[in-house]
Structure 1
Amino acid sequence: MKVKGVNLGNWLVLEKWMSPALFAGTTAEDEYYLPRQLSKEVYEARIKIHRSEYITERDFVTIKSMGMEAVRIPVPYFIFGDREPFIGCIEELDKAFNWAEAYGLQILIDLHTAPLGQNGFDNGGICGVCKWSKHPEEVEFVLSVLERLAERYGERKGLWGIEVINEPVTENMWETMKVPERYPAVDPELAEGSGSVTFDFLRGFYKDAYDRIRKYMPEEKYVVIHDGFELKAWKGYMQEEKYKNVVLDTHQYLMVAEANGCEQTMEGYLKYIREHFQKDIQEMEEYFPVICGEWCLFNSLACGWDTKGGQSVLNGLDGEVESSVSDEEKKKIYQAVAEAQLAAWNTGSGYFYWSYKLLTDTVNDKGWTGWDSWDLGRCVDFGWFPRV
């Protein structure tokens, strides 16, 4: 098994940095507060227009033409429209399956958010709040969402698999990311009791999720579990005969490598990719097929300034920085890190790039220099990423 794919980030799960205009006129930093700051009519109109325009049938044609075979689609816990004030998006996912099947692509459904947060990141739906795993009724709600998704799509030709929860944050990453500082909570009372997710919880939750999904999804389709940012913590787990086609997903970003001390030089990146990304994936392939479900070309060297582990102008970093990196240099940096990372994922079972597109104005908005490397379409068009 080898998969080559791309994420449809910011389509059904919003991320402010990928499409700042969606949040215009509010102080909301995440999807939780957006409908709480807009009137119902404005919120609904904004979301419906966004969903209908951001990804269309034409994009599936483009993705196929890039040489990709699959898309990973982040979906929210309110996908079925049963958690006000949010609007469900199951019809959009239905359309995506029709498009994928028409053009020979596969879909990995990725449950990207959980009520009360599984990581405290903006992409978890609510900044600074991470206590979903401590609320049994919300854990059960998430299991019911997974079961309903499996029931609806389990037999679809276009289904590659289901990922049970995106990026649950375990202790090391909670500390590395300094979550409460980097993603300050709007309501300290709501954030009270937040903290990392334990491995004990995850080990139980993944098995429960597997059972619920397999009721409706055939064994040849994949159940994907995220490593909680600790790739090597899963040795010997779910190795019993009963567990079929379980895939381990790891997310490896150069900006996190920088936060962990990787040198911001070409040699530094290539060495880190070889000695950490590649080596760890090879080691874990003995236990599971390992995919890198999120990664990109973004790095501080190509930006021409230290982004402090990928912090953007939205994090209050100085937006006046002018890049000293020429287009030619930038292209060389991206091509080299693309080649090295693709080789690393190839020692495993494949990858999904983050992300297919973004609507950040990297030309006119100060401080966004270099951020267009998150946009796979641009990376391919500029020759930074090989047409595979």
Structure 2
Amino acid sequence: MLNLFFFTLLAIFAFASADPIRGVNVGNWLILEKWLGGDIWNSIPNASDEWTACEALGENAPAAMQNHWSTWFTQDTVNQLASYGINTLRIPIGYWAIQPNASDPYVTGAQDYLDQAIGWARSAGLKVWVDLHGAPGSQNGYDNSGHSGTASWQTDSSNIPTTISIIEQLAAKYSGSGFSDVVTGLELLNEPISWDPQDVAITRQYYSDAYAAAQAALTDNKDLTIIIHDSFVDLSDWADFPAQVGASYNQLSLDTHIYQVFSDADNELNGSGHIVKACNFQNTVGPSNEVLPTIAGEWTAAENVCINADGSTINGTSCSSEGCQCTTDDPANWSSDLVNLVRGYVEAQMDVFEGNGTGYFFWAHTGPGSWNFMSGVQQGWIPQPLTARAFPGQCGFTLPDITAIDASKRKHKHRRVKRGLLGMF
């Protein structure tokens, strides 16, 4: 027992000494999401997701998908992201790229582009998380699963065994030679929906079985991190999961998606209200991160706020007073005051995700308005370097020297985790 204790402590120290993840999601590439844009949608206005896009394109689907894959995300994109300080890419992919079903309309071939992107990441000095974003039957009924509508992943008895088979294939391949130096994480499933406790129990059992299958399938890189999404339940509900599956601190991570645009309560907040809420996430992310590395796998600069000419802010997506601008306006036309408002919101989130968690992945590398990371850098509402702060200390702590602060935070994390472990023995 004592040897296990010290082994676990060493594993924690090794993990915590790593730099925080500063990443982006490669959205709308290997799984289409119409709202993010792209020329592929121009000829199929009635399609809503990749399933219906491929159906609508018919015999033209293979050529259209190949063209999209070849142009939406390229080596130049990777190099640009690296120049902006990004160190990791989270790349979503669907089950049909790994284990296609002949009755589905999807076009196969996306995995070849994933492999190519891993090579681009290597040349740019970046790491990659491979994210199973779409499961057979759809795990959430959203377009990001590939097929919007009914979520039958949890109810069709064949879907979960198929998904575990796919995870085994991904784990074996991407922990192996040619990939293990770049691929550092494998996410078991993106955003499985939890309508009721039974759904959570099914997802939890899937995670347990898929984690074991992935661990057994690992080849060269036995330290590949396996990631679970929180399934939209409290982070604290996953505190016992590492013990359930026998995972040490560096073998398992928890992914949480933090947005402030999808609820009525969020859309009633003004500018300062969004920052306060962002800062308050430290109260959930921090304790979770003591148990297992917790990362904001998706977050954004988007908020539905307007700024008046006098600098005051209101909630909403439109305003009529002279000089008023809203975050839903084209960011290319934002005033300096609106740029600063959004930058403050961005920096607060970055502070929490780095200072209290293990890092972040912005959604997405490109897209509309304030969902576009690269435009954010170019327009000034994403800091450069990513560690710079125009508004330090918003959340009660500062990160003025990221190298020094990272070391300090890591030491603090060691102390907190160490106390928790001592209580176990």
1:183-213, CA deviations, whole angstroms, 9 ceiling, x for partnerless residues? xxxxxxxxxxxxx971111111001111111
Shift, 1:234, TM fit: 1.1
Deviates more, 1:245-254 or 1:260-269: 260-269
Stretch of structure 1 that moved more, 262-271 or 161-170: 262-271
Q: Which residue of 1 aligns with 2:316?
A: 306
Match of 1:247 among 244, 247, 253: 253
**What residue in structure 2 maps to residue 232 of structure 1?**
236
Q: Within 1, Cα distance between the matches of 2:143 and 2:88?
A: 25
2:49 counterpart residue number: 30
Cα deviation, residue 307, structure 1 = 5.4
2:267–2:304 contact (8 Å) kept in structure 1: no
CA–CA separation in structure 2 for the residues paired with 1:124 and 1:237: 25
2:28 maps to: 10
CA 104–326 in structure 1, closer or farther in 2 if over 3 Å, else same: closer
Deviations 1:163-190, CA, capped at 9 Å, x for gaps: 0000111128xxxxxxxxxxxxxxxxxx
CA-CA distance at 1:219 after TM superposition: 3.7
Secondary structure of the residue aligned to 2:96 is coil
Given that 1:31 and 1:126 are in contact with CA atoms closer than 8 Å, whether structure 2 keeps it comes out as: yes
Partner in structure 2 of residue 264 of structure 1: 269
Q: Secondary structure at the match of 1:229?
A: coil
Rounded to whole Å, the distance in 2 between the matches of 1:25 and 1:267 is: 42
1:86 matched to 2:95? The reply is: no
1:71-220 correspondence runs (5 A): 71-80=89-98, 82-84=100-102, 85-88=105-108, 89-155=110-176, 156-171=180-195, 198-217=199-218, 218-220=221-223
Displacement, 1:326?
Answer: 4.7
SS at match of 1:101: helix
Q: Secondary structure at the match of 2:243?
A: coil
Contact 2:270–2:315 (CA<8 Å) still a contact in 1?
Answer: no
Q: Does the C-alpha gap of structure 1 residues 326 and 50 become closer, same or farther in structure 2, counting only changes over 3 Å? A: closer
Paired residues of 2:271 and 2:315 also in contact (CA < 8 A): no
Q: Which residue of 2 aligns with 1:314?
A: none
2:186 & 2:252 partners in 1: Cα distance? 10
Structure 1 residue 264 displacement after superposition: 2.4
Per the alignment, residue 295 of structure 1 pairs with 299
TM-score (norm 2): 0.75
Residue 80 (structure 1) shift: 2.6
Matched AA of 2:373 = L
Tell me the number of residue pairs that the alignment of Structure 1 and Structure 2 aligns.
Answer: 338
Contact in 1 for aligned 2:208/2:245 (Cα 8 Å):
no
Structure 2 gap ranges (5+): 1-15, 308-313, 319-327, 387-425
| d(CA) in 2 for partners of 1:273, 1:104 | 30
- TM-aligned CA distance change 1:334 to 1:109, over 3 Å: same
| Counterpart-to-counterpart distance in 1, 2:339 and 2:372 | 14
Counterparts of 1:38-49 in structure 2, within 5 Å, are 38-40=57-59, 42-49=60-67
Paired residue secondary structure (1:136): coil
**1:5 shift after superposition:** 0.6
Q: Distance in 1 between matches of 2:54 and 2:96?
A: 13
1:320-339 deviation digits (Å, cap 9, x = unpaired): x9789952222011111011
Question: In 2, Cα distance between the equivalents of 1:145 and 1:63?
Answer: 29
Amino acid at match of 1:212: A
User: Shift in Å at residue 110 of structure 1?
Assistant: 0.4
Identity of aligned residues (%): 29
**Equivalent residues in 2 for 1:328-367, closer than 5 Å:** 328-346=336-354, 347-358=356-367
1:93 and 1:322, CA in 2 relative to 1: closer, same or farther beyond 3 A?
closer
| Letter of the structure 1 residue corresponding to residue 271 of structure 2 | M
1:278 to partner: Cα distance: 1.6
Secondary structure at the aligned position of 2:129 is classed as strand
Cα shift readout 1:72-120 (whole Å, capped 9, x = no counterpart): 0000111136224212211111101111112211110000011221111
Whole-angstrom CA distance in 2 between matches of 1:241 and 1:137: 23
- The whole-number CA distance in structure 1 between the counterparts of 2:97 and 2:90 is 15
TM-score (norm 1): 0.82
Q: Aligned partner of 1:157: which letter?
A: D
246-255 or 148-157, which deviates more? 148-157
Tell which structure's C-alpha radius of gyration is larger: 2
CA contact (8 A) 2:54 2:107 kept: no
Distance 1:212 1:21, change over 3 A: same
How far apart, CA to CA, are the structure 2 residues paired with 1:322 and 1:203? Answer: 41
Contact residue 268 and residue 315 of structure 2 kept, 8 A: no
Match runs of 1:360-375 below 5 Å: 371-375=368-372
1:273 aligned residue: 278
Distance, in Å, in 1 between the alignment partners of 2:51 and 2:329 is 34
